[in-house]
């Protein structure tokens, strides 16, 4: 099935020449004028859909596919069934992304301001912004051109957003300065009070005022219900192009470089610094006050308690070089199957 | 203490005959006409309360209890104190659930539409729906009869919900088609953009349009602040009767069968498929593109990185058959206590 | 850089005598009249800022600092550069917190009620409350004096809050009785339905009505998007002064004593009881029906499956006494580096 047009706009039909150009692909001769209306998986695609082959394990589906065109790597072009156009690209998924965005363009700001939106004093809205019902934009906030502010979204006093930002349904942003093309998915919480307090001898926790901000670089995307606390004194910084999945937690004063990827339910504790293009997989955690070098990668569910050098993959808890962490994982599997373990005295948890 | 009637409706007094019938229990002769007003724990119950005995460790509390009636298994009926009615049921907790729901019925839709609710063009609301203050239901959405839409809840364009759904305070649903009796608890996020992108050679992450939907079967319940991303091309599917606890994260294209149970803070990565009645315990994680067979169970905090056959219990990280995983856990405990470990050279983390 | 006054109020300039008095510090003779306007890190502070030295590793920054005054321990007072006032305090961070709160006072309720706020019948608001746009306070709720109810916050029917509570943007509270000075950060969910159900032989999950409440003691602070489910029969209780970070999950019937600290993404399963001043670090999990003694501490990412005695530190999964858990962690590191592990047969996950 192609995309459900109740939920996704469809801009087609578009000629293959146009789609291929957007993807930087040369279409096979004679196919330039073929018209396409949508994208779909190999199984679901029909003659007017573009599909793509991500890896060789999908080859059987390719052979059965009725897709009108398939984006794939050169090595797999021979497996395309008759009648299907092979669109060869060095990165099929990237080319597919660009084609899909032409056929099903993301919603653009419609320039309307819902009458129920509460816009504070001194707010500056760039041209063409779309402001949804019950959005609240507090005094002094500044938004660039063509931003989308969803239903119930809340932008706190004096926050700054650049052009073409999307602050979606129920997102909250306070104490925040953001660049262009920033997306806050539903329920994201930007700029909440960090977890900072001092404890008296009697055990009373006294708040240390959290006096920093959150800085979001151009193109940052923040997942649903993800939380980025504001800095305590310095700022919390998310570098340009970084993407955070849902339910991620970023503590105060954390700094991410450019293009980092933080997968769902991962957490980074206060004052840790990540370089550029760091990847943190799902449910991983990184302790506070660490330095993670550029292009390092942290495996899923890992717990990082030491600095990680540039380019290193780490895995496990405590996180260690991935090769070592995988050895430990293999040893655990072996231990589980071993007779020696079976002979161990029972413990309460066994 | 019985339920606080400031927060929970009370429908009593009701005769035991009526309560027992709802639970499929035969009340002891002569007790049918006794009247009850509430339910309570064994310790808190008084003569007009029904209580229940979950397991044998509660027997001491039973002997001290002043409850008017106690639901319990046949084997424990002899321990009921004088003056307390023993209500014998094969599943005491299930029988108790049905009795409690009679005495303290869940809120039903009151049929009122708050004047501040924003209802878009072409929206169809079934009879008897209750729409709370500042709810936003966008153009073309369809809700069945007797739905409750809480304060600030947001239903996106063209979403479909069946009868008697509850979309509670601050929940968001977009790109979603849901059956009957679906509950979205506060802050649940349904249909947000999945985490899909391709990366250019220069390190720019380019969004792969997420063109699928979320399908929720009849009776699905989604916990507070839980996120279910919409599919990328296929749909994300939650089978009928499945229950998700708070802060669960479901990635794009994931498919759950019927009656699955996903406990708090667990996460399932993109495109993984679960059969029917799978249980995933708290804080567990399942990698993407896996198949988890029906009635499999994943232990708390486990990390599943391989397919799991039908009916298998797995535990640990990497998750292994539960018996093996528990062996490993026991071995870790033993290692912690061992002199050999104590003699190991100190490392930075020690 | 000192605090950005677009986002943080500044009450200065204030004389050092006043600041020092709030912190219980005797300022050096002759410095009492010096005026200060803000606080800042050692690197960022200028002559009109107060800074602080948290630990000896910051000594190099201290020597370079241009701060007008620095709060520090007596042992480090000698390292203060010329022209900087040394403010000696037994707990520098605590003294700094008190000084920062004078110079940058937290927002107090401004007594205004936004015209869009929906206030139900019989609601009692104490004097001086601030009620934000689109806040919803349902029938019968009672708030004490000087509370702040943020934009879109939702207080359910008959809920009770004491004086000077902050129910911030998008927070939800139902079935809740709270003391004074309670803070709910954005997106916190208090009183949602707990995860309680019984399953029929056919696999249908039947809700066990969740008939308890949430009780929040004086001074409790709840982080962004954190969830505290209401009790099933008994109440869920968070003791006075306890602080919960973002994305924490507290199951039904859990009871925390006074002054507990629960760090981000940690979870506590149903009916577990914590004593006073228990610390649960990030991403840790505690099984249900356990007892954790006062002043116990649970390490990050640990999984607690047994009771923990008073004052014990535990670590690991399964959690064991911290000394043992750290031994296991060290053994894992050693195993990862060992040749023996390298010689192990390859497994699928290796």
Cβ count within 10 A of residue C192: 27
CB–CB contact A303 C305 (8 Å): no
Position B254 scores a pLDDT of 98
Tell me what pLDDT residue C54 has.
83
What is the reported pLDDT for A190?
98
Number of Cβ within a 10 Å radius of residue A13: 12
> Which of B137, B159, B178, B205 best probes binding to A when mutated, by most A CB atoms within 10 angstroms?
B205
Flag whether pLDDT at B152 surpasses 90.
Answer: yes
Count of alpha carbons within 13 angstroms of residue C90, beta-carbon side: 4
Give pLDDT tens digits for A184-239.
999 999 999 989 999 999 999 999 999 999 999 999 999 999 999 999 989 999 99
Minimal CA separation from C263 to chain A, in Å: 8
- Contact assessment for residue B275 and residue B257, using Cβ atoms and an 8 Å cutoff: yes
- Considering only CB atoms, which chain B residues are within 8 Å of A130? none
Mean pLDDT of all residues in C148-162: 98
DSSP A56: G
Beta carbons of A94 and B154 less than 8 Å apart: no
A49–chain B Cβ distance below 8 A for any pair: no
Number of residue pairs across A and B with CB atoms under 8 Å?
211
Q: Write the pLDDT tens digit of every residue in A151-174.
A: 999 999 999 999 999 999 999 999
Chain C contact for B133, CB < 8 A?
yes
H helix or E strand, kind and range, residue C101: helix C92-103
Mean pLDDT of C325-332: 95
For the beta carbon of residue C55, count every other beta carbon within 10 angstroms: 11
| A170 Ramachandran zone, left/alpha/beta (phi>0; psi -120 to 50) | left
Inform me whether the C-beta atom of residue C187 falls under 8 Å from chain B C-beta atoms.
Answer: yes
Identify which of A118, B190, B167, B90 has the alpha carbon closest to the alpha carbon of residue C117. A118
Mean pLDDT computed over A247-270: 98
pLDDT at C348 over 60: no
Where does B118-324 sit in CATH, by number? 2.160.10.10
Amino acid B349: pLDDT: 35
Q: Judged by CB atoms within 8 Å, which residues 16-35 of A form the interface with B?
A: none
Chains in contact with A via at least 3 Cβ–Cβ pairs below 8 Å: B, C
Nearby residues of A21 by Cβ (< 8 Å), 6 or more positions away: none
Give the mean pLDDT of A71-94: 93
> Which helix H or strand E contains C45, and what residues bound it?
none
DSSP-based three-state secondary structure for A255: strand
pLDDT (mean) for A275-300: 98
Residue C237, both tokens: 């209780």
C291 touches chain B (CB under 8 A): no
- What is the least distance, in Å, from the CA of A274 to any CA of chain C? 19
Question: Contact C347/A333, CB-based, under 8 Å?
Answer: yes
pLDDT digits (tens, 9 = 90+) for B59-83: 999 999 999 999 999 999 999 999 9
pLDDT at C81 over 70: yes
pLDDT of residue B54: 83
What distance lies between CA A9 and its chain's CA centroid?
22
Q: Is residue C19 pLDDT above 80, yes or no?
A: yes
Minimum CA–CA partner of C324 in chain B: B336
**Chain B contact for A185, CB < 8 A?**
yes
- In this structure, of A298-302, B23-27, C149-153, the range with the lowest mean pLDDT score is B23-27
Q: Does A346 touch chain B (CB under 8 A)?
A: yes
Q: Which of C6, C57, C153, C224 to mutate to test the interface with A (most CBs of A within 10 A)?
A: C224
Which of A7, A116, A134 is nearest residue B213 as measured by Cβ atoms?
A: A7
Nearest-by-Cβ selection for A320 from C132, C241, C333: C333
Which of these is catalytic: A8, A170, A252, A289?
A252
pTM for the full predicted model: 0.96
Classify the C-alpha dihedral B89-B92-B95-B100 as positive or negative.
positive
Average of per-residue pLDDT values in chain A: 94
Contact criterion met (CB < 8 Å) for B282 and C285: yes
User: What DSSP state is assigned to residue C33?
Assistant: T
Whether C327 and chain A come into contact, CB under 8 Å, resolves to no
pLDDT of residue A306: 97
The H or E element that residue A64 is part of is: helix A59-64
DSSP SS3 for B61? helix
For residue A300, count CB atoms less than 10 angstroms from its CB and return exposed for 0-12, middle for 13-18, buried for 19 or more: buried
| C340 confidence band (pLDDT: 50, 70, 90) | low
Of residues C342 and C208, more confidently modeled: C208
User: Between A and C, how many CB-CB pairs are < 8 A?
Assistant: 212
Hey, are the CB atoms on C208 and B97 less than 8 Å from each other? yes
Query: Given a contact as 3+ CB pairs under 8 Å, which chains touch B?
Result: A, C
Are B350 and C327 within 8 A, CB to CB? yes
**CB contact (8 A) between residue B344 and residue C328:** no
**For residues A258, A259, A260 and A264, what is the CA-based torsion angle, rounded to 10 degrees?**
140
Inter-chain CB proximity B198 and A93 less than 8 Å: yes
Secondary structure of residue A176 in the 3-state scheme = strand
Taking the CB of residue C304, how many other CB atoms lie within 10 A of it? 26
Comparing alpha-carbon positions, the chain A residue that sits nearest to C57 is A289
pLDDT range class, residue A345, cuts 50, 70, 90: very low
- Which residue in chain A has the smallest CA separation from C103? A209
A346 touches chain C (CB under 8 A): no
CB contact under 8 A, B193 and A187: no
Closest residue in chain A to residue B156, using alpha carbons only: A7
Q: Is the pLDDT of residue C221 over 70?
A: yes
The count of residues in chain A is 350
In this predicted structure, the answer to whether residue C343 has a pLDDT above a threshold of 80 is: no
Return the CATH fold of C14-103: 3.40.1390
What residues contact B100, with CB distance under 8 A and at least 6 apart?
B39, B50, C208, C209, C211
- Whether C297 has its CB under 8 Å from any CB of chain B: the answer is no
Q: Which residues pair with C38 in a beta bridge?
A: C49
> How far apart, in whole angstroms, are the C-alpha atoms of residue C301 and residue C280?
9
CA–CA min distance A72, chain C (Å): 28
How much is the pLDDT for A348? 37
Q: Å from A230 to nearest chain B CA?
A: 21
Higher pLDDT pick, A309 / C233: A309
What is the residue extent of each domain of chain B?
14-103, 118-324
């Amino acid at each position: 099935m192609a995309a459900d047009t109740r939920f996704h706009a469809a801009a087609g039909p578009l000629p293959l020449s146009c789609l291929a150009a957007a993807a930087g692909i040369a279409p096979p001769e004679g196919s330039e004028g073929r018209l396409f209306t949508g994208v779909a998986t190999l199984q679901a695609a029909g003659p007017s859909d573009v599909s793509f082959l991500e890896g060789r394990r999908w080859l059987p589906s390719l052979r059965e596919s009725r897709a009108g065109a398939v984006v794939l790597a050169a090595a797999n072009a021979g497996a395309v069934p008759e009648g299907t156009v092979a669109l060869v690209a060095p990165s099929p998924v990237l080319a597919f992304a660009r084609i899909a965005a032409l056929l099903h363009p993301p919603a653009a700001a419609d320039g309307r301001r819902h009458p129920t939106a509460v816009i504070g004093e001194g707010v500056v809205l760039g041209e063409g912004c779309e402001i949804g019902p019950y959005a609240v934009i507090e005094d002094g906030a500044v938004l660039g051109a063509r931003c989308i502010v969803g239903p119930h979204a809340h932008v706190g006093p004096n926050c700054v957003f650049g052009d073409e930002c999307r602050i979606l349904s129920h997102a909250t942003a306070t104490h925040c300065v953001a660049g262009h093309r920033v997306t806050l998915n539903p329920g994201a919480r930007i700029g909440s009070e960090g977890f900072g307090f001092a404890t008296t001898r009697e055990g009373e926790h006294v708040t240390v005022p959290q006096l920093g901000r959150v800085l979001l670089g151009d193109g940052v995307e923040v997942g649903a219900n993800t939380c980025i606390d504001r800095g305590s004194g310095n700022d919390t910084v998310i570098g340009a192009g970084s993407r955070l999945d849902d339910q991620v937690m970023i503590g105060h004063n954390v700094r991410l470089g450019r293009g980092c990827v933080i997968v769902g339910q991962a957490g980074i504790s206060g004052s840790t610094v990540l370089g550029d293009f760091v990847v943190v997989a799902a449910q991983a955690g990184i302790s506070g006050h660490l330095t993670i070098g550029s292009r390092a990668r942290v495996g899923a569910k890992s717990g990082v308690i030491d600095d990680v050098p540039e380019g290193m993959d780490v895995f496990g808890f405590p996180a260690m070089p991935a090769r070592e962490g995988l050895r430990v994982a293999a040893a655990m599997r072996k231990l589980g199957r071993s007779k020696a373990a079976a002979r161990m005295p029972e413990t309460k948890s066994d």
